Amino acid sequence: MTKEQFAEALAAQGISLTERQKEQFDHFFRLLVEWNEKMNLTGITEEGQVYVKHFYDSITPAFYFPFDQVKSVVDIGGGAGFPSIPLKICFPHVKMTIIDSLNKRMGFLQHVASELGLEDVHPVHGRAEDRGQEANYREKFDLVVARAVARLNLLSEFCLPFAQPKGHFIALKGADITPELNEAKKAIKTLGGKTRKVETFQLLEEAGERNIVIIEKVEATPKSYPRKAGVPAKKPLV
């Protein structure tokens, strides 16, 4: 995929990039490749592949959810800036928080935000289980996003505590989501969520099936969740 094809593909979905936004994506790509030589950010570094599998893939939730109506977003496990940075470039009004357990990635994200001139980008070092119990972050966001971090029952415990009541959690998942959805039903309900829709589509250039799971926060998350760091992974809600 060329940069021009990327812009055309987004325009076909109603997202028109300005010249500045196109330059920001180009700059982000170059920073990603440069920093990837120093730290493990991604196994995908070929330009066309980055544009399809990282940039375009990260923006797909906006095809199914009104990001123009969202003010605050938190990306859980957003390490190299996916989906947070592509979404922030496309929707500059959004206040974007990125939480990741690897501190060295925070320096990369700070540098990206500075170099690209992105305001209101806040990388936060920490584990989701810990930050999700903190008053500064708990139930403070319109939208929570996460991309391929963990299975949905576990991911729901990481993410739903951050969404404010009537807010949403969007999981960007790969193919064959049905088993995960069935496995996660109890967890989603326990944590105050309700699955509103699942959008299944093929990523461009035969890059595979993707699923967007949109969950609404219909009730406050019980105070006992998320459990202490490490517990959800050992004893997922089923």
Q: The domain 3-219 is classified under which CATH number: 3.40.50.150, 3.40.50.620, 1.10.101.10, 1.10.3080.10?
A: 3.40.50.150
Residue 209 gets the label, from left (phi > 0), alpha (psi -120 to 50) or beta, of: beta
pLDDT classification of 238: cutoffs 50, 70, 90: confident
Residue 148 scores a pLDDT above 80: no
**Residue with token string 């493990």:** 40
Is 128 within any annotated ligand binding site? yes
Residue 79: DSSP 8-state: T
Residue 207 scores a pLDDT above 90: no
Query: Any residues with CB less than 8 A from the CB of 183 and at least 6 apart, and which?
Result: 151, 152, 153, 238
pLDDT classification of 119: cutoffs 50, 70, 90: very high
Is 77 within any annotated ligand binding site? yes
Residue 48 scores a pLDDT above 90: yes
Residue 99 scores a pLDDT above 90: yes
The pLDDT of residue 205 is 79
Mean pLDDT across 83-94: 98
Domain boundaries, the chain: 3-219
Residue 226 scores a pLDDT above 90: yes
Query: Any residues with CB less than 8 A from the CB of 160 and at least 6 apart, and which?
Result: 144, 169, 188, 191, 192, 193, 215, 217, 221, 225
Residue 53: DSSP 8-state: I
Query: Any residues with CB less than 8 A from the CB of 70 and at least 6 apart, and which?
Result: 91, 94, 142, 143
The pLDDT of residue 232 is 95
